Amino acid sequence: MMNWKKFVESEENLMSIYFDEQSRIFYLESKDTTYAFGVNPLGILEHLYFGKRVGRDLAFRTYSEKGGAHSVVLWDEDKKHYDLAVVPQEIHTPYRGDYYEPSIILEFANGNRRSDLIYESHEIFAEKPQLEGLPSLRHGETLAVTLRSKTAKVILYYTVSETCAIIARSMKVVNEGEEDLRIDRAYSFAFSLPNRQWQAMYLAGAAGAEAHVRKTSLDRGVFTIDSKRGISSASMNPFMAIGLPETSENRGPAYGVNIIYSGSHSITAERIPSGLVRVSGGLNAFDFSWKLEQGESFQTPEVVLAYSEDGYSGMSREFHNIYREALIPKRFVHKPRPVIINHWEATRFIYTLDRLRSIVEQVAGRGIDTFVLDDGWFGVREDETSGLGDWFVNEEKLGGPLQSLIDYTHSLGMRFGLWFEPEMINRNSELYRAHPDWAIQTPDDYAEEARRQLVLDLTREDVRDYLVETVNGIIRSHKIDYVKWDCNRDLSEGYSLALPKDRQKELFHRYYLGLYDLFRRIVEANPDVIFEGCSSGGSRFDAGVLYYFPQIWTSDQTDAPARAKIQYGTSFCYPMSAMSCHVTASPNRRAKHLTTLHSRYDIAAMGPLGYELDTTKMTEEELAEIPLQIAAFKEDEEMVFTGDTYRLHSPFGDSNYFAMQSVSADKKKSRVTVMKLQENFNEPEIRVYPQGLDPDTVYEVAELGRTMEGRSWMNFGFRPKVAAGDYETKVFRFIAK
């Protein structure tokens, strides 16, 4: 399969990590940005600046020295005083006068919970040291600053990028003492923003209504987005953007924070009395505690911080670029994706091989290249109450060997994909009857079910070995080309039979160390198989999953207007190439909306494309549209998946329109997709202003019958003239002449 071009790396974008020995200030310089902090006279890491590129001439004391009767005051040798409740720092610790959100809480063997974290040394790595057992950016020059507090060594890592305006941060705690150390909180980063009218944007929702864009002003107090669900969750994605009231999609300062992690998380923005906004986060501190024995170390997840002056869309492009360049598996990110037919919405659990054959047959030769067999092919699985854990083919239900369907699919020139939900177990399964202790459960209590299933204890090596063997076994013996990896519940019990009493609060994080080990072992054993993440739709749509799998099922909500919102929101942090999107039936199964096939396609064509409907119920006319749609999709695929994304009209708030745009990396092509959410007679019209075109290039837009210079399209704009009717879409292609 062909490989798309790599990103254009420009010479001017070369970054560097620079330490000014005299002032003891670190300058981390990436594309157009500076992140600066220094070692102050107390040995504390003072945060100085994060934003547009500045000179290497900054100074300490970005705050005033006030203090008062209630301030704890530390003195340096020159008799200058420091109130840590005021000083912006790279890591905040409690019990020395800093009364706000701490980044780390350590408990030493004698019960002392104060850590002073004094600078000891630093090292710059040309090659990034990989995080132990956790997903992270794969490369980038990295600074490691070692701090010490008694017997604990704390290392802060900073990775810069050559091509993107990002800084990636994480922290490692090492117990160099002879006695146990307890970590009660271990965030990955902290930085402070000056006193301005900052606002937070974040992605909140629920399964089927993922990534809805919300905004709040950051006034005094603590604003936190988080998940305590043991899963990154549709409730709150591990992402926060921060901008000013005047920050728009295309202009103004915009910061972004995203945690490369799939479990419980939190990101906090706290405005302290001096007006500064401290931003921090990482692993959710709720009921978290980790015992670190002598010589052991604890690594936090990595957090990516992005900055752009070009508004929220600009910030999003920094995330998209760094994730495509350094996170998502290289062997897939620059390649065309399979175009899927999946039967789930057509049949749910009830089907035979014959029924599946008839669904595939209808679309054979029409451009769809992969059939995905979803839930229900294994164990005894007529509904959600049984079968999970029993990863062997149920030939009796299917009415024959699975291989016959695979061979049939291959004979039509298509590849074959298979659904798994490896992390789960039903009480009604052979696996549970053989190993009831493999499920996460609390002794003497009834383990609660969600979707009638329990979660396997992935902290156990024997459980992971079983899953590696069975899942890899099926993939290999059936030569599977594509795997959909589902996960349909959150963690609940908070107890592992495999962990001692004093390590129970480690479970939620240990689960993810286990899951990432499982992902790694299965993905590495099957390098040519493309994996898609899924979690009842987008309940685990995060950068942790994207490190292993190039795409994720964005939502079970496939109703075009609702999906447009979800994809719009998801694009704040994740590239279009990560968002798996399918055309499903109309009226929509959930929303009951009637939509045209072309509207459903226009929205689905914004990410890796698939069809998921009963093809035997499609008319000849509809079937004839499929090859045309796929041809159009293939035309645009490289542009959409490797180019730049712009959000032009938000479907949230009062707007009745959705508009998003892709521009190819060479700016020779662009596509604008517009949807009118509701038909309102005689309502005011909108005008669309495309972005990111080359001002000097002349573009022809056949759908408008016009040819204009890029600067004219971007400033004069155009009237989208969407056809009458609710949820109608229109697509505009800009072709350089």
Nearer to ligand DGJ, 357 or 589 (CB): 589
Locate the DSSP E strands across 179-319: 181-193, 199-206, 209-217, 221-227, 236-243, 254-260, 265-271, 277-283, 290-292, 297-299, 302-308
- Contact call for residue 580 and ligand DGJ (CB under 6 A): no
Residue among 83, 302, 542, 556 that touches ligand DGJ (CB under 6 A): 556
Q: How far is the CB of 386 from ligand DGJ (least distance, A)?
A: 13
Helix (H) or strand (E) holding 89: none
CA angle (31 as vertex; 26, 37 as ends), nearest 5? 20
Helix (H) or strand (E) holding 570: helix 560-570
98 catalytic, yes or no? no
Q: How far is CA 200 from the centre of its chain?
A: 18
CB 275: neighbour CB atoms within 10 A?
12
**Which pair of structure tokens corresponds to residue 72?**
């704890």
The torsion angles phi and psi of 645, rounded to 5 degrees, stand at -110, 135
Q: How far is the CB of 623 from ligand DGJ (least distance, A)?
A: 23
- What sign does the dihedral 432-437-438-443 (CA atoms) show? positive
Nearer to ligand DGJ, 158 or 553 (CB): 553
Distances (CA, A) of 466 to 45, 390, 736: 46, 11, 55
- Contact call for residue 602 and ligand DGJ (CB under 6 A): no
**Which pair of structure tokens corresponds to residue 486?**
């589902």
Q: How far is the CB of 511 from ligand DGJ (least distance, A)?
A: 20
Nearer to ligand DGJ, 98 or 556 (CB): 556
Q: Single out the segment in contact with ligand DGJ by CB under 6 A; choices: 293-301, 533-541, 635-643, 666-674.
A: 533-541
- Contact call for residue 536 and ligand DGJ (CB under 6 A): yes
Region of 536 (left: φ > 0; alpha: ψ -120 to 50; beta: rest) is: left
Q: How far is the CB of 587 from ligand DGJ (least distance, A)?
A: 19
Nearer to ligand DGJ, 588 or 664 (CB): 588
CA dist., res. 136 & res. 301, Å (int): 8
**Which pair of structure tokens corresponds to residue 268?**
């906090």
CA dist., res. 223 & res. 245, Å (int): 17
CA angle (581 as vertex; 578, 587 as ends), nearest 5? 160
Helix (H) or strand (E) holding 478: none
Provide the greatest CA pair distance for the chain: 85
CA dist., res. 68 & res. 51, Å (int): 31
556 catalytic, yes or no? yes
Q: How far is CA 478 from the centre of its chain?
A: 31
**Which pair of structure tokens corresponds to residue 311?**
């508004």
Residue type, 249: E
CB 56: neighbour CB atoms within 10 A?
14
Q: For 196, what's the count of Cα atoms within 13 Å in the CB-facing half-sphere?
A: 14
The torsion angles phi and psi of 80, rounded to 5 degrees, stand at -90, 145
Residue type, 557: Q
Nearer to ligand DGJ, 226 or 374 (CB): 374
- Contact yes or no for 645/316 (Cβ under 8 A): yes
3-state secondary structure of 703: helix
Nearer to ligand DGJ, 309 or 449 (CB): 449
Residue among 374, 390, 602, 644 that touches ligand DGJ (CB under 6 A): 374
Q: How far is the CB of 544 from ligand DGJ (least distance, A)?
A: 18
- Contact call for residue 559 and ligand DGJ (CB under 6 A): no
Q: How far is the CB of 374 from ligand DGJ (least distance, A)?
A: 5
Q: How far is the CB of 295 from ligand DGJ (least distance, A)?
A: 43
Residue among 82, 391, 419, 519 that touches ligand DGJ (CB under 6 A): 419
- Contact yes or no for 291/182 (Cβ under 8 A): yes
Q: How far is the CB of 648 from ligand DGJ (least distance, A)?
A: 29
- Contact call for residue 673 and ligand DGJ (CB under 6 A): no
Q: Single out the segment in contact with ligand DGJ by CB under 6 A; choices: 265-273, 458-466, 530-538, 659-667.
A: 530-538
**Which pair of structure tokens corresponds to residue 551?**
């795409």
CA dist., res. 325 & res. 321, Å (int): 6
Nearer to ligand DGJ, 409 or 539 (CB): 539
- Contact call for residue 259 and ligand DGJ (CB under 6 A): no
The torsion angles phi and psi of 188, rounded to 5 degrees, stand at -100, -20
Q: Single out the segment in contact with ligand DGJ by CB under 6 A; choices: 26-34, 262-270, 532-540, 616-624.
A: 532-540
Q: How far is the CB of 219 from ligand DGJ (least distance, A)?
A: 38
Q: Single out the segment in contact with ligand DGJ by CB under 6 A; choices: 175-183, 534-542, 621-629, 665-673.
A: 534-542
Q: What are the residues whose beta carbons fall under 8 Å from the beta carbon of 577, sequence distance 6 or more?
A: 324, 328, 333, 337, 550, 551, 607, 608, 640, 641, 642
Q: Single out the segment in contact with ligand DGJ by CB under 6 A; choices: 138-146, 326-334, 429-437, 531-539.
A: 531-539
Nearer to ligand DGJ, 533 or 692 (CB): 533
Q: How far is the CB of 576 from ligand DGJ (least distance, A)?
A: 19
Binding mask 339-358 for ligand DGJ (x = CB under 6 A): -----x--------------
Nearer to ligand DGJ, 157 or 553 (CB): 553
Helices 620-642 and 353-363: crossing angle in degrees, nearest 10, is: 80
Q: Which of 310, 374, 390, 486 is catalytic?
A: 486
- Contact yes or no for 288/509 (Cβ under 8 A): yes
Q: How far is the CB of 390 from ligand DGJ (least distance, A)?
A: 15
Residue among 29, 83, 486, 636 that touches ligand DGJ (CB under 6 A): 486
- Contact call for residue 391 and ligand DGJ (CB under 6 A): no
- Contact call for residue 230 and ligand DGJ (CB under 6 A): no
Nearer to ligand DGJ, 488 or 673 (CB): 488
Residue among 418, 458, 522, 534 that touches ligand DGJ (CB under 6 A): 534
Nearer to ligand DGJ, 486 or 490 (CB): 486
Residue among 537, 575, 643, 710 that touches ligand DGJ (CB under 6 A): 537
- By CB under 6 A, the residues from 40 to 79 that bind ligand DGJ are none
- By CB under 6 A, the residues from 296 to 315 that bind ligand DGJ are none
- Contact call for residue 375 and ligand DGJ (CB under 6 A): yes
Nearer to ligand DGJ, 347 or 403 (CB): 347
Residue among 63, 239, 408, 553 that touches ligand DGJ (CB under 6 A): 553
Q: Which of 310, 556, 559, 636 is catalytic?
A: 556
Q: How many residues bind ligand DGJ (CB under 6 A)?
A: 11
Residues that are catalytic: 486, 556
Residues forming the site for ligand DGJ (CB under 6 A):
344, 374-375, 419, 486, 488, 534, 536-537, 553, 556
